[in-house]
Amino acid sequence: MRIDIITVLPEIFNGPLNQSILKRAQEKGLVTLQVHNLRDYSTSKHRQVDDYAFGGGAGMVLMSEPIFAIIEKLKTERTYDEIIYMSPDGELFDQKMANSLSLKQNFIILCGHYKGVDERVRKHLITKEISIGDYVLSGGELAAAVVSDALIRLVPGVLSDETSALTDSFQDDLIAPPVYTRPEDFKGMKVPEILLSGHEKKINEWRYEQSVERTKQRRPKLWKEN
């Protein structure tokens, strides 16, 4: 998988995408993540990438020119399966979308900023618009990091057997069951007996029941859709 992220704040990505699982995925060569500074594609002296909105109104708008320049350049280098724009009015991201996107190879993710991006970019370049929730962030960067993380961990080989995505919450429309580790008794708070029994079948039944109970309580809509 390859993800090219286009942003006016490349520094934001130094942290979240270079730790732990995501770092190892890149080191193993399973994933290439390339962060591009949109300002490098500005033709103006002051590396300007935004301007006032025609018709007035508060807030700046990302200009078409540098965005077309970088995306057209990237498209000469390889074929992209999706060119994604992160925006609060996009399609709501969930595990199903992550699963289906993870089957694809090459992505561009454009991070919105300020009041958004010139509509001509959305109309003529973008193939998919994604929101990570009904709230507004300062920019699309954190949302792009969230989507990248969710996709990368689904790439075969990124997770080991023990951390397999198959047992994640939402993978079977159920929330994962509670988990415990040592000590068995912590200040009088005990691990459920069944988990110490060594009886695999019974443990699996218990976990399933717990998952069902949690899903009913915490995501009743998800349970009803089942």
Residues that bind ligand ADE (CB under 6 A): 86-88, 112, 131-133, 135-137, 140, 143
Strand-pairing partners, residue 109, are 5, 84
Look up residue 57 and give its amino acid: G
In terms of CB distance, is 146 or 175 closer to ligand ADE? Answer: 146
- Both structure tokens of 154: 């689904």
* Under 8 Å between Cβ of 107 and 81: yes
In terms of CB distance, is 67 or 143 closer to ligand ADE? Answer: 143
- Please give the residue whose beta carbon sits closest to ligand ADE in the complex: 143
Of the candidates 62, 1, 53, 65, which has an alpha carbon nearest to the alpha carbon of residue 31?
1
Q: 63-85: b or e for each residue (b if 16 or more CB lie within 10 Å)?
A: bebbbbebbeebeeeeebbebbb
In terms of CB distance, is 131 or 215 closer to ligand ADE? Answer: 131
In terms of CB distance, is 7 or 87 closer to ligand ADE? Answer: 87
Query: Least Å distance between CB 87 and ligand ADE?
Result: 5
Query: Least Å distance between CB 112 and ligand ADE?
Result: 5
User: 186 — phi, psi (to 5°)?
Assistant: -115, 110
Query: Least Å distance between CB 7 and ligand ADE?
Result: 12
- Both structure tokens of 105: 């190879």
Query: Least Å distance between CB 26 and ligand ADE?
Result: 23
